[in-house]
Amino acid sequence: MEELKTRLISDDGIRCDGRRLDEIRPIKFQIGVLNNTDGSAYVEWGRTKILVGVMGPRESHPKHLALSDKARVEAYYRMASFSVEEWKSPAPSRREVELSKVIREALEPAIFVELFPRTSIDIFIEVLQADGSTRCASISAASLALVDAGIPMRDLVASIAVGKVEGKLVLDVQDKEDKAGDSDMPMAYMPSKNAVTLLQMDGQITHDEFIQSMELLKKGCLEVYKKQKEAIEAHFKGAISNVEEA
Amino acid sequence: MEELKTRLISDDGIRCDGRRLDEIRPIKFQIGVLNNTDGSAYVEWGRTKILVGVMGPRESHPKHLALSDKARVEAYYRMASFSVEEWKSPAPSRREVELSKVIREALEPAIFVELFPRTSIDIFIEVLQADGSTRCASISAASLALVDAGIPMRDLVASIAVGKVEGKLVLDVQDKEDKAGDSDMPMAYMPSKNAVTLLQMDGQITHDEFIQSMELLKKGCLEVYKKQKEAIEAHFKGAISNVEEA
Amino acid sequence: MEELKTRLISDDGIRCDGRRLDEIRPIKFQIGVLNNTDGSAYVEWGRTKILVGVMGPRESHPKHLALSDKARVEAYYRMASFSVEEWKSPAPSRREVELSKVIREALEPAIFVELFPRTSIDIFIEVLQADGSTRCASISAASLALVDAGIPMRDLVASIAVGKVEGKLVLDVQDKEDKAGDSDMPMAYMPSKNAVTLLQMDGQITHDEFIQSMELLKKGCLEVYKKQKEAIEAHFKGAISNVEEA
Amino acid sequence: MSQRIVPTVKKRQIIELADSGKRMDGRTLTDYREIKIQTGIVDKAEGSAMVSIGGTKVVAGVKFEIGDPFPDIPNEGVMQVGAEFVPFASPDFEPGKPDEVAVELARVVDRGLRESKILETSKLCLIPGKKVWIVHVDVYILDHCGNLIDTAALAALSAMLTATMPEAAVEGENIRLTGNRLPMPITGIPINVTLAKIGNRLFVDPSLEEEEVLDCRFSVAFKENGMLCAIQKGESGYFTPEEILRAVEIAKDKSQEIRKKVVELLKLNDGAVGGS
Amino acid sequence: MSQRIVPTVKKRQIIELADSGKRMDGRTLTDYREIKIQTGIVDKAEGSAMVSIGGTKVVAGVKFEIGDPFPDIPNEGVMQVGAEFVPFASPDFEPGKPDEVAVELARVVDRGLRESKILETSKLCLIPGKKVWIVHVDVYILDHCGNLIDTAALAALSAMLTATMPEAAVEGENIRLTGNRLPMPITGIPINVTLAKIGNRLFVDPSLEEEEVLDCRFSVAFKENGMLCAIQKGESGYFTPEEILRAVEIAKDKSQEIRKKVVELLKLNDGAVGGS
Amino acid sequence: MSQRIVPTVKKRQIIELADSGKRMDGRTLTDYREIKIQTGIVDKAEGSAMVSIGGTKVVAGVKFEIGDPFPDIPNEGVMQVGAEFVPFASPDFEPGKPDEVAVELARVVDRGLRESKILETSKLCLIPGKKVWIVHVDVYILDHCGNLIDTAALAALSAMLTATMPEAAVEGENIRLTGNRLPMPITGIPINVTLAKIGNRLFVDPSLEEEEVLDCRFSVAFKENGMLCAIQKGESGYFTPEEILRAVEIAKDKSQEIRKKVVELLKLNDGAVGGS
């Protein structure tokens, strides 16, 4: 409790973990980390750690859920029982149900679903450790898992959150800032399409702060996007060198 | 608690809400109150308030539940979480499951189910406020919703309850009388067929009281029946005048 | 609590219920005890009382669970709410789920499943009173119910448990010995095939004790096997005399 | 989709036979099948009974548990009645499926016991407002050959009438079980009688094949003093009021006959428990 | 498998009509349908409201219950928002199916109320760290003709604003209800406004037929002081950032218009509750 | 309906190869695949470990929670083991389906830890009879390439052995966390070894393709002192008693080999924790 009373932002605009207001945390993506999926990715985003596996396109089951004109996309966002401060029951909470829905809706616009009628694409997300922005990290990693699965995409979906802490807008809120802060606003964005596919906000901000937040979110998404592209490059370079070795 | 100790019936046979022993509460039926159903009705029965919507006859889902020789009738009796004194969890209680069953069995004999093989007729009942006799009000209103859905009926099903309070048989028990009383006996009845389609009893009564109760119940059902018919007349008069206006 | 401190085995090797170390409890099998099954059996094994009913081979439901090359065998082990010291909720516990699985796997190797492709064989077990070794009693009685259902079997499956109590190996542990004891090791066995179809162990034993236990278990299974055969003989003798009477 | 051709033929046979006062299994219209009661079969339960009516078999067990009272009756114990269909009781039961039939059965059995007020719940209080005895009465349907309600009600009743309760010593907030057993605070023998209507005839204690073709069902419970204490009409047919009055008349007689049998089979001291 | 041929034709019509600033039901792109609010309809609830926007109808009820506080905020009451889809509200709802749509709806309504901090939960504490008031706010969807979020949010708000709370006398560990009613510790009128994007146009308060063809949905709640207090983008399409900025502008105006209506319909003393 | 033609061919190949002492992936019949252990990967958990055996990967986490003791052991903490199959671990897992395989896995892992008595639950008591530490040990299957039991058991063990526990100061009825960490009250390194029977041969640490054709499975856990502390035969085939004796011999050797590896990988002080 005492910890929360200490200031989260210093006079020279440095945050409790040493970042500037508009600085994102260290983000490390890894592609192709699982053996039994069609595509997978792992992300460490500050202390947040998430695994994503994609199955599909594959036959819909049960069949009556299949769609005649496009693939059915489902996302399952789950938190491991030990991923948060207090032990969490493995039964999906209402929060996990809602996040599964908005994550699916953030990713589906990027997928050429019309190419795979009557099939299912399932995106399974397991949060191993949660330290804020898990939905942003999930969406960003899931984009890479979809690429790894060879599913044609309109663009990568990059995602990040802006918060308001001690009256200032800060990029990429971590857990401590989220809990002590006044608002949290995650966005998912396809840069090359200028398309916002997720936007949520909790807390209170002025109209001006909202407009500034949108700018900051775009900037942050572009940084995440850059890291996503680097991860893809590294992965395929690895793939090519594997081929050469063979 | 104190309230319960005060007498519920005065020396001249007047009940706590001013009614005579064989007097029913004010009942107000309204037909055709919902936009998305095939038929609907709303009833205010004293303080009891119930909405009923009928869907069907429509394709059975899942299909293997369809019956080859008649429509499948289902009733779903549910109480809103705020309809009773103590907040009620929205998960169906065992009481709601049983009442759904007996309400279905009270209504099905009135429906020409054999005209609609392989289809389903679903009767959805939502109790907004419960003040006694909710099953009777539900059955009576559902009959009107079935008529509104254009489903051919053998007769309307009218329903009412008799209770034993302070040693006397009283018609149309409200909640306070039910809780303090010695018995509750609801009946559902098709007057033109002389058919009892629901009969239950809780509490203790003598054989003689049972025989008297049956008489009182028939009388009460006839009064409800009259109000049902008036509601239909009002509704169709409205429908006709709507046509004339058009 | 005091009871547990008293010794469970006397100096001359007599157990608290008067048995010798390698002596099984009185076991009484009865075949063909239910009216609505294809086969059934009842066992009283000391104070343990269990009813088993077999349905099948019959059409698999739902159909997509059917196997193209053999019958699908399922076992359902359930304990009545009043079968144990403390009232038990009727919802299946994790223990009941696991026991259903190992019981199925103990019985399936005895059944000529390849003779009945696309069908289901369901084994329903209801423990009316539990006093130790309920899985052994269930498997042994279920073998008889399968025979009663006319299902071709490679052999009967006989089952019993060995425990370690006060440093000594004892055959056919009852509840009191199980709770105070150091280990419990149930085995299921087809004598004519020399086939172990179930083996589990809780607790701690040395390698030597394990080897001795295996011997003791075989001996015990043979005694159960003998009682199973007697029950079959008695049942079919009864059946024949019924025929003669007719 | 279900086929109803065979039942229609069977129904005609049953009605024709009934015209001469007979039934498929040789009974008259008002005969019960043979009733058997075996008590104390589960000695780990505080009370238990295996009851059969013809081929229908139900086992009931009574268990005591310490728990919290309901806020509105803080000084009374709680009785909870449950019903489980063991899947081997009938080819139609599926394991694990929650079933409105089981819920109705449990609630009808519950009302028969509760409304007859045979259990003095005030004697089940341990610490007023805080701890009371919860009495679980669970019936397990083992074999379904018709008339589950009467069989289950009789099993629950027999288990209750022959149960004992644990003695508890209460010291302040602590509850200690002495290990002694006390008699159940119970009086009265409510008996439930069920009739089926097929065509326009009433059949006491319907068999499974009668149930498969019935129009509707009527169950009524009587106390030993002749009071009615629970009624349940079931299934999607109807009775005329006259049929109901007749059903109650018949059931009243049958309830006395069965109560006599229960007293005899359970060797009840007629004066102590439920003197009629 | 679902067929999408009709929606495609309908979508073209809706877009073409929008080009001339019109909608299928005659509204302009920024018009709400008629809003009706009826409060106090369930007098057994501490607060209740039936709200309709066009044909969409939602009833909300507020109930108080004594319960345990969350360990991390031991001196504050708890607000719990639930949403239920009554199956007669739409042919697409199945009874008993847990639904992500209902979960999202409940959580969006919850956030609109919670983040605007209109409820002073510190005034709902009974025994610090031990007992607090739980305030249940449940919305029941009765008729679904489009824009459930705004209708449900308005129903929940109206029920809250017109609720009273029970007075409790706390003596040591005992809580006694006096029977008196106290005003709700509530201030503020957060208003949620939803827009649909169809083609590249924004439609305020989408109707059901508009929802069937929309690309995506945007909901934003405003406090009376102009602060944004909740946002939710929904469905599997996308907005450009510019569209979102425009949607917020439009919603800000509409929220003031609706707040005025709420004050008027609920006859709120503008100063006491949520002075703008 | 499932097809079994491919497995039959594969089974023959596996058996033929085994005749010359080899396996599809180049191992001998008694070789384990490569074992990797990474601990402390979830620093929000009191203990955690990611363990892989070949391509099979399991993560385990240990969390402490304050809760109520069991009435029959009022002065001891409680260990609860859970197993979850993350759906991306295998195309055969469906999300949300309760699964007897997961239940069996959790219970086998639980017994391996519990029966070896490595956790001194008496040191997890906070207020005797009232409050104790609940230790949640949850294993999540991330990648299923065969031999889940050994991988999950090793993950749970590694998380337990490297966990610390929170220090609590108890004053009367109040429990306050000091923020300090204490060592886990744990001793011993029980190791589970699984063998598959295919044809009449035993395969240590079966791979997924071996599991797809196995007759049955045998798992046994050994303590460091050579005591057996848990056995589980699985799947619908059978062993002869002689095969079981041989399996136990092999497993005993393998358990020592793996224990050495665990001590090395976890850098355990051999004396402090589980000296052999």
The CATH number of residue E156's host domain is 3.30.230.70
pLDDT tens-place string over residues E31-69:
999 999 999 999 999 999 999 999 999 999 999 999 999
Whether residue D274 is predicted with pLDDT greater than 50 in this model: the reply is no
Overall domain count for chain E = 1
How would you list the strands of the sheet with C48-59, edge to edge? C27-31, C39-45, C48-59, C119-129, C72-79
Cβ separation A51–F142 shorter than 8 A: yes
From chain E, pick out residues whose CB is under 8 angstroms from the CB of A98. Answer: 100, 103-104, 107
Question: Which of these, A16, A7, A12, lies nearest to A173 by C-alpha position?
Answer: A16
- pLDDT(B245) > 80: no
Query: For residue C92, what pLDDT band results from cuts at 50, 70 and 90?
Result: very high
What mean pLDDT is predicted for residues D14-26? 95
Q: Name subunits touching C (3+ CB pairs < 8 A).
A: D, F
- pLDDT recorded at residue B238: 74
State the residue range of the domain holding F94. 5-265
Q: Which two tokens stand for residue A21?
A: 């207001």
The SS3 of residue D186 is strand
Task: Write out the H or E segment, with its range, that includes residue E210.
Answer: helix E208-211
Q: Chain-wide mean pLDDT for chain E?
A: 92
Mutate which of E38, E56, E86, E88 to test chain B, going by most B C-beta atoms within 10 A? E88
Q: How far is D236 from chain B (nearest CA, A)?
A: 4
Q: Is residue D242 part of a domain?
A: yes
Q: Maximum distance among all alpha carbons in chain A? A: 60
SS3 A225: helix
pLDDT score of C49 more than 60: yes
Burial zone of D43 (CB within 10 Å; 0-12 exposed, 13-18 middle, 19+ buried): exposed
Q: pLDDT grade, residue A61 (50/70/90)?
A: confident
The mean per-residue pLDDT over the stretch C96-121 comes to 97
**Vertex A171 angle, CA A168 and A175, to 5°:** 90
Which of D48, D86, D96 shows the shortest C-beta gap to C82?
D48
Instruction: Say what the ipTM of the complex is.
Output: 0.94
Q: pLDDT tens across C25-48, in order? A: 999 999 999 999 999 999 999 999
pLDDT at A64: 80
Chain A residue with the nearest C-alpha to that of E4? A69
Name the region of C125 (left: φ>0; alpha: ψ -120 to 50; beta: rest): beta
Q: Would you call B36 and E59 a contact, using CB atoms and an 8 Å cutoff?
A: no
Q: How many domains does chain C have?
A: 1
Do the Cβ atoms of E205 and E31 come closer than 8 Å?
A: yes
Asked if residue F273 belongs to a domain, the reply is no
Q: Is D203 helix (H, G, I), strand (E, B) or coil?
A: strand
Four-residue CA torsion sign, E255, E257, E260, E264: negative
Q: Would you call C37 an interface residue with chain D, using a CB distance cutoff of 8 Å?
A: yes
Residue type, D73: I
pLDDT > 90? residue B57: yes
CA distances from E153 to E36, E58, E110, E121, E139 (A): 13, 9, 8, 19, 9
Angle at Cα C190 formed by Cα C184 and Cα C193, nearest 5°? 135
Residue B219 lies in a domain: yes
Interatomic CA distance for residues D153 and D141, integer angstroms: 11
Any CB–CB contact under 8 A between B167 and chain D?
no
D223-242 pLDDT, tens per residue?
Answer: 999 999 999 999 999 999 99
Q: Report how far residue F188's alpha carbon sits from residue F185's, in angstroms, rounded to the nearest whole number.
A: 10
When pLDDT is averaged across residues C133-150 and rounded to a whole number, the result is 98
**Chains B and D touching, counted as 3 or more CB pairs less than 8 Å apart:** yes
DSSP F90: -
- E96's tokens: 């008993």
CA distance D26 to B121: 40
Number of CB atoms found within 10 A of residue E275's CB? 14
Residue C238 has pLDDT above 80, yes or no: no
Q: Where are the alpha helices (DSSP H) in chain F?
A: 5-19, 100-115, 148-161, 208-211, 241-265
Q: Range with the lowest mean pLDDT among B5-9, C211-215, E234-238?
A: B5-9
Q: Cα–chain-centroid distance for residue A226?
A: 14
Band (pLDDT 50/70/90 cuts) for residue F92 is confident
C158 in Cβ contact with C136 (< 8 Å): no
Residues of F with CB under 8 A from a CB of C: 1-4, 100-101, 103-104, 106-107, 111, 115-117, 216, 218, 220, 223, 226-241, 244-245, 248, 252
Over residues A102-107, the mean pLDDT reads: 98
* CA distance linking residue B79 with residue F229, whole number of Å: 53
SS3 F24: coil
Partners of B87 on chain E (C-beta within 8 Å) are 63-65, 134, 136
| pLDDT at site D3 | 47
Cα angle: E88, vertex E94, E96; to 5 degrees: 105
Residue with tokens 């406090």: E223
Residue of C1, C34, C35 to mutate for D, most D C-beta atoms under 10 A: C35
Confidence of residue C9 (pLDDT cuts 50, 70, 90): very high
Q: Do A118 and E228 touch (CB under 8 A)?
A: no
Contact residues for A158 (Cβ-Cβ < 8 A; gap 6+): A139, A140, A143, A188, A189, A190, A191, A221, A222, A224, A225, A228
Residue A52 contacts residue A45 (beta carbons within 8 Å): no
For residue E272, the model assigns a pLDDT of: 43
Kindly list the distances between the CA atom of residue B16 and the CA atoms of A90, B12, B175, B180, C26, in Å, as whole numbers in the listed order. Answer: 52, 12, 12, 12, 67
Instruction: Test D248 with B198 for CB contact under 8 angstroms.
Output: no
Is residue A82 in a domain? yes
pLDDT confidence of B124, banded at 50, 70, 90?
A: very high
Q: In this prediction, what percent of chain D has a pLDDT beyond 90?
A: 85
E234 contacts on A by Cβ (under 8 Å): 102, 105
Question: With contact defined as beta carbons under 8 Å apart, do D146 and C36 qualify?
Answer: no
A80: nearest CA in chain F? F140
Beta carbons within 10 angstroms of residue A162's beta carbon: 28
Structure tokens at D118: 């045979």
- Supply the pTM of this predicted model: 0.94
CATH of the domain at C69: 3.30.230.70
Mean pLDDT of D1-11: 67
Residue F214: Cβ within 10 Å count: 22
* Closest CB from B35, B58, B82 relative to E44: B82
What is the percent of chain C with per-residue pLDDT over 90, rounded to a whole number?
84
Closest CA to A43 of A173, A155, A149, A140: A140
- Mark D133-152 as b/e (b = at least 16 C-beta within 10 Å): bbbbbbbbbbbbbbbbbbbb
Centroid of chain to Cα B112:
19
* pLDDT surpasses 50 at E276: no
pLDDT band for A25, please (50, 70, 90 cuts): very high
pLDDT at B241: 66
Residues 6+ apart with CB under 8 A from B214: B187, D241, D244, D245
Six token digits for residue A225: 């996007």
The verdict on a CB contact (< 8 Å) between A211 and E227 is no
**Best-predicted range by mean pLDDT (A45-54, D168-177, E111-120):** A45-54
Q: Each residue of B149-199: pLDDT tens digit?
A: 999 999 999 999 999 999 999 999 998 888 888 899 999 999 999 999 999
- When CB atoms are compared, the residue of C196, C200, C210 closest to F248 is C210
**Residue E110 is assigned to a structural domain of this protein:** yes
* Contact yes or no for F247/F220 (Cβ under 8 A): yes
Give dist(CA B1, CA B5) in Å, integer: 7
DSSP alpha helices (H): ranges in chain D?
Answer: 5-19, 100-115, 148-161, 208-211, 241-265
The string of pLDDT tens digits covering residues F26-64 is 999 999 999 999 999 999 999 999 999 999 999 999 999
Q: Where do the H-state alpha helices sit in C58-188?
A: 94-107, 134-148, 175-180
Residue E75 lies in a domain: yes
pLDDT of res. B246: 46
A142 within domain boundaries: yes
Closest residue in F to C187 (Cα) is F233
Instruction: Express as a percent the part of chain D with pLDDT over 70.
Output: 93
| C128 contacts on D by Cβ (under 8 Å) | 41-42, 59, 140
**What is the average per-residue pLDDT within B124-133?**
96
At D267, the pLDDT band (50, 70, 90 cuts) reads: confident
Give the residue carrying structure tokens 């399991």: F58
Q: What angle do CA E234, E238, E242 make, to 5 degrees?
A: 110
User: At B243, is the pLDDT very low, low, confident or very high (cuts 50, 70, 90)?
Assistant: low
Write out pLDDT tens, residues E200-244.
999 999 999 999 999 999 999 999 999 999 999 999 999 999 999
**Residue D88, φ and ψ in degrees, nearest 5:** -80, 0
Q: Identify the closest residue of chain D to C130 by CA–CA distance.
A: D44
* Segments forming the whole domain that contains residue A45: 19-237
Q: Does residue F129 belong to any structural domain of this protein?
A: yes
pLDDT in tens, B84-117: 999 999 999 999 999 999 999 999 999 999 999 9
CB C80 within 8 A of CB C124: no
Q: Does A200 touch chain E (CB under 8 A)?
A: yes
Residue E198 in tokens: 């169809």
Tokens 């050959």, located at residue: D145
With cut-offs at 50, 70 and 90, classify the pLDDT of residue B62. Answer: confident
Contacts of B169 (CB under 8 A, 6+ apart): B21, B162, B163, B209, B212, B213, B216
Kindly tell me if the per-residue pLDDT of B20 is higher than 50: yes
Residues, chain C: 246
Contact F239 C199 (CB under 8 A): yes
> Under a CB-based contact definition with an 8 Å cutoff, are residues E102 and E152 in contact?
no
pLDDT tens digits, B131-158: 999 999 999 999 999 999 999 999 999 9
* E68 within some domain: yes
Structure tokens at B58: 């429509």
What is the CA angle E81-E85-E86, rounded to 5? 125
H/E segment holding residue A217: helix A207-245
pLDDT of residue C179: 86
Question: Quick check: is F117 in a domain?
Answer: yes
User: Is the minimum CB–CB distance between B97 and chain D shorter than 8 Å?
Assistant: yes
Burial class (CB in 10 A: 0-12, 13-18, 19+), E160: buried
In a domain, D129, yes or no: yes
Write down the mean pLDDT value for chain F: 92
The torsion angles phi and psi of B125, rounded to 5 degrees, stand at -120, 125
Min Cα distance A97 → chain F (Å) is: 12
Supply the pLDDT for residue B232.
97
